[in-house]
Structure 1
Amino acid sequence: MFFFFDIRKLDTISYGAFFMVKRKNIHTAASFLVFACSFLTNNLFGEVQATKTPHYNQQGISQISESSTKISDSELDVKTWRVSPSQPSYSISAEYLYWKTNVGDTDFVVANVNPSFAIEGAKEQIGNVKKAKFDWQSGFRLGAQVVLPFDLIGIGATYTCFSPDGTNKYHLNGGHLISTNVEHTGLSDINIAKSEINLSMQLADLFLSKRFIPSSHTFLTFYSGPAFAYLNQVWDFSFTPLSFETGTFNPLSQSWRFIGGGIRTGLDFEWFFGAGFSVLTQGSVGLIYGIYKNQFRNNLVQVEQGQNQPHANAKYKDNRLVDHIQLAFGPKWGMFFSNNLGLNLQLLYELNMWFNLHEYHRSQENTGGNGRQSYYSNAPISMQGITVKAEFNF
């Protein structure tokens, strides 16, 4: 802030007050000092206010008038650019997701290299354990929000859709392929092992948000609201043995489905640098309670003989609480082109973690009770990658 005030005015006022006091006119001197203080205040702060007088557009974004003194970006106060709007502000957004998915406990075969130190005919896990893998996949997220003029309160909703899949196939190549799940007669020597896995995720969130401005270049946005989730995974893997004739294979299927609702709470932290650029950090936690179904099927199929022998068909249903953690970090840029049209762009790295969803049925014939003992392994699900967002304000 700069003060433009002529010091000669102060000399004149001081001399006048001294002259009156010297002549013992105390009452007149006091009145003169009151007038002088009022004169100083009007001149001092009036000139300061004329130096920098921002006005605001319909979105509450401050604009410095052409007659005002130009300020560098480093001197900009974030409050100057993020002021409570004088009327409701609306926005819609679209996000492109390019993520890689990983699910634990999806191993299904060992590529046994049969090393020289192993005993002859060894069929144990000596080699590389292979698991089901997902490819990089695309998804999308849509959102809408209205920011009320009262204390930057926002109401919004988002919808996320992401459906990754992946296929893996392994052939016998000078060693052995060993199943990590089933051990049935005739499957000790496997020629081909194949895995196909598909996961579908759909999320819908409603939220109420409140924005805070704790310092000159930072924003904090707290939000919370109901969350709904639907996730479904189908994992099909099969083994083709050497010892059986053509057309014989062992298909297995491990699938689960979850649908439920709960609450999600999160916090966004934005560090503003100037010229529309900032760094954004996001984090949220969701607790979702719902219905969970799991099914495992294992058949031995001989096409030429017309046989389809079921070895396992285990399924169960329960209610459970599922945890979802969402983290994101990256740069953001925003600009208003007119009084009511604006654009925000984000390029974020996003990480999602799901817990208490994926369960792998590992009960086998050689477990206790001739395979009747339930044995399930539980593993987290991770989705991570790039999220590109475009938000339009109007």
Structure 2
Amino acid sequence: MIGILTLAWIPFAHAQEKQQEKKSSYEFPEYSEQDYHSLDAPSYELPYQETGPHIQGEFLYWQNIESNLIYAIDQPPHASNTDVIGLEGHLKQVTYRWDPGVRVGAGWKFSPETLDVSLIYTYFHNEGGDAVKQRPGRTLKGVFPDFLGDTISDISSTADLMYQTLDLQATHTFQSSSSFVMDFLFGVRGAWISQGWNTYYKSNNLIFFDPFSGFGQRFETLVQNTWKFSGAGLRTGLSMDWFIGWGIYAHVQTSMSAIVGRFRNKQQIDSTTQVRYSKVHPSDTRIIPSWEILLGLGWRKNISSYAFKVFCNWEMNLWSRLNQTYFYPATTVDDSKVGSWSRDSVNLQGITAGIGVEF
């Protein structure tokens, strides 16, 4: 009887073992156990160094996009200057141009099973401006106190942004197939960002005129809006490389940061009559969230004992509610009060191209 039960149990146990094998997930071999050929498909390679130093240099061609840099209103003509109207006309705004920048980094990969630690510095300086002149029948108005009334003949506005970050980050690599590599990144980030914004309101009326030289000085008002932010915080994200073939790969990277720092602002309004209408210094401590995304293509190749890569990405950096502009009404000392303010994000976008070497 026991022999019959044993014979009946053997095929059942074998079937149960097969069923468990089907349910178990496939475990990739350890990275150190994979030889060079197991990492390569016939049409492409995954040329990564397993350990050692690496350096990288990048050329940036970026532009800052802000919607909070409105400096004037170009109003249409009216039959009477006493007509009751709301906000009417074309809002004039400063636009940033495209400017170059640089990013450099160096690091050390300890092993494929542990960490790759890097130090990365980014520098970018962006300038922009805009100007408008009074056209026949139209009226120029400033959004800041200018005390020139209807005599404004032209307005010009310039802005510049200084952007610097320093990242100390570590990455851990996961290889899920022979053509797909993913890095989990985490670390700390320091940020130093500042902006200067000057607006000139000018009138054709002269303060004085020298008949001998033919030169004079016009009534003008200068409005200065500057701010600085410096802080540090945490950063985390993912980076993915999908090898298409012949060393060519598609690259995607996204990361989030939370930066705690000090925000300092200054608004000052002066005129050529040597009268200072405004000078305030608001400041506070705030947490600024930022988001980064890169998308592009690259090429990697092993040459002798080195691994080279060349890449070109489209990069976007969003610093939420970082820019702040104050609007204080011009009034008497007795009636002076805090006005309003508006916040806007600093949005950087553009091309990031570079080269890297792993030793």
Superposition TM-score, scaled by structure 2 size: 0.81
Q: Which gives a bigger RCO, structure 1 or 2 (Cα 8 Å, sep 6+)?
A: 2
Partner of 1:42: none
Identical positions, percent: 21
Q: What pairs with 1:342-361 in structure 2 (closer than 5 Å)?
A: 342-361=307-326
Q: State whether structure 2 residue 295 is matched by structure 1 residue 335.
A: no
Report what 1:37 is aligned to: none
Corresponding residue to 1:266 among 221, 227, 237: 237
Residue 146 (str. 1) matches residue 112 (str. 2) = no
Q: How does 1:1-394 map to 2 (within 5 A)?
A: 62=36, 72-73=42-43, 81=46, 85=50, 88-114=51-77, 118-121=78-81, 125-174=87-136, 175-182=138-145, 184=147, 186-243=148-205, 245=207, 246-302=217-273, 308-338=274-304, 340-365=305-330, 370-394=335-359
Matched residue pairs, number?
315
Provide the secondary structure at the position in 2 that maps to 1:188.
Answer: helix
Distance in 1 between residues matched to 2:49 and 2:223, nearest whole Å: 59
Counterpart Cα distance in 2 of 1:352 and 1:280: 16
- 1:124/1:310 CA distance change after superposition, 3 Å: farther
Alpha-carbon distance in structure 1 between the residues aligned to 2:300 and 2:257: 28
Shift of 1:141: 0.3
Secondary structure of the equivalent of 2:95? coil
Q: How much does 1:188 deviate?
A: 2.9
Aligned CA RMSD, in angstroms, stands at 2.6
The one-character-per-residue Cα deviations of 1:132-182 (angstroms, maximum 9, x if unpaired) are: 121110000001121122505211110000010112221112222111222
Secondary structure at the counterpart of residue 215 of structure 1: coil
What is the CA–CA distance in structure 2 between the aligned matches of 1:84 and 1:333, rounded to whole Å? 15
Equivalent-residue separation in structure 1 for 2:140 and 2:102 (angstroms)? 39
Question: Is contact 1:299–1:312 with CA below 8 Å preserved after alignment?
Answer: yes
Contact 1:125 1:178 in 2 (8 A): no
Q: Residues 224 and 150 (structure 1 numbering): CA distance in 2 closer, same or farther, change over 3 Å? A: same
AA matched with 2:284: D
Contact 2:139 2:150 in 1 (8 A): no
Q: Which amino acid aligns with 1:287?
A: A
- What stretches of structure 1 of length at least 5 have no aligned partner? 1-55, 65-69, 303-307
Change (3 A) 1:165 1:378: same
Note if contact 1:262-1:289 (Cα within 8 Å) is conserved in structure 2.
yes
Structure 1 residues 381 and 83: CA distance shift in structure 2, 3 A: closer
How far is the alpha carbon of 1:379 from its aligned partner? 0.6
1:349 maps to a residue whose letter is: W
Runs (5+) with no aligned partner, structure 2: 1-30, 208-216
Cα deviation for residue 84 of structure 1 reads: 7.5
